[in-house]
Amino acid sequence: MSKENFIPIHKLCKLYQVEMSFFSNLNEIGLIQITTIEQSHYVHQDKINDIEKIIRIHRDLDLNIEGIDIVFNLLQKIDDLENEMITMKNRLRFYEN
């Protein structure tokens, strides 16, 4: 597997000033997926926005991992509902015209 689209977790720990255990806990509850390549741990670059959001939730709200899981999942549901609402509004406009 190529490391091309992956970011080493040890660099993320240094950048965001969090412990490796923070990422391990996020992986255990399914918020991120850690990939092991050549005995090093990586996260796919597409998940950086989610990781930054999770870290802000953790720091700003001072939540534990379980609280982060709840808030992050609720935010994802809100995003999904907003997207669905936009789709429905667009369909409605189509039929109104």
Residues 50, 68: contact at Cβ < 8 Å?
A: no
For the question of whether the overall pTM of this predicted structure is more than 0.95, the answer is: no
Which of these, 27, 67, 66, lies nearest to 43 by C-alpha position?
A: 27
For 6-96, CATH gives 1.10.1660.10
CB crowding 11-25: b at 16 or more within 10 Å, else e: ebbeebebeeebbeb
pLDDT by position in tens, the chain (length 97): 678 899 999 999 999 999 999 999 999 999 999 999 999 999 999 999 999 999 999 999 999 999 999 999 999 999 999 999 999 999 999 888 7
The predicted structure's pLDDT at residue 71: 96
Q: How far apart are CA 84 and CA 90, in angstroms?
A: 10
